[in-house]
Amino acid sequence: MNRIISRGMAVFSRKLGVNGVCDVVEFHASPKGVELAGREGKWLPVPVEYKRGRPKENDADSLQLCCQAMCLEEMLLCDRIPKAYLYYGETARRTAVVLDETLREKVKALLVEMHELYTREYTPRVKPGKSCNACSLKDLCLPRLYRTDSAAEYVRKRLEESL
């Protein structure tokens, strides 16, 4: 076997100040990989992120994937992970994402900005779009709140829906 699959793997990075869960991490047999308990040889971690929808026009999914890889590199003290994969349910295709320096720098810059916002206790307005429909965070983010004119109008509409 030249591939080991781990699902729902928790990851974190002290340097970046983030944690999360990878949908899937594949460990590919590679001399550049790391040793795994109970396995012979070396294994390079390769995150694979599954999305229900289709590829987005922005690079949000690639950034999330790159961040997962950076967490894995730090956790496992392994070489740079050169590429990882996004899988989209609507197209049923797996797309390789090259984890280059540009993408890595953007991940770092966005996380610095995120921590600054958190320290200032400021919640930026979200930009609802088509991708909200397939987003796993939509019940937390509540993007429809931003489509209404006021909190009072939102409450009125929800009350009408429940009658």
Strand pairing category for 18-34 and 43-51? antiparallel
Q: Which of 24, 59, 126, 154 binds ligand SF4 (CB under 6 A)?
A: 126
Number of residues near ligand SF4 (by CB under 6 A): 9
- For the record, the structure tokens of 141 come out as 């983010």
φ/ψ of 143, rounded to 5, equals -60, -25
Q: Which of 5, 109, 137, 145 binds ligand SF4 (CB under 6 A)?
A: 137
Nearest to 4 by CA among 30, 21, 26, 19: 26
- For the record, the structure tokens of 33 come out as 């990989």
For residues 10 and 142, give the distance between their C-alpha atoms in angstroms, rounded to a whole number: 25
55 binds ligand SF4 (CB under 6 A): no
For ligand SF4, which is the closer residue by CB, 53 or 83? Answer: 53
For ligand SF4, which is the closer residue by CB, 3 or 127? Answer: 127
Stretch that binds ligand SF4, among 11-19, 77-85, 105-113, 138-146 (CB under 6 A): 138-146
Positions that interact with ligand SF4 (CB under 6 A)? 126, 128, 131-132, 135, 137-138, 141, 143
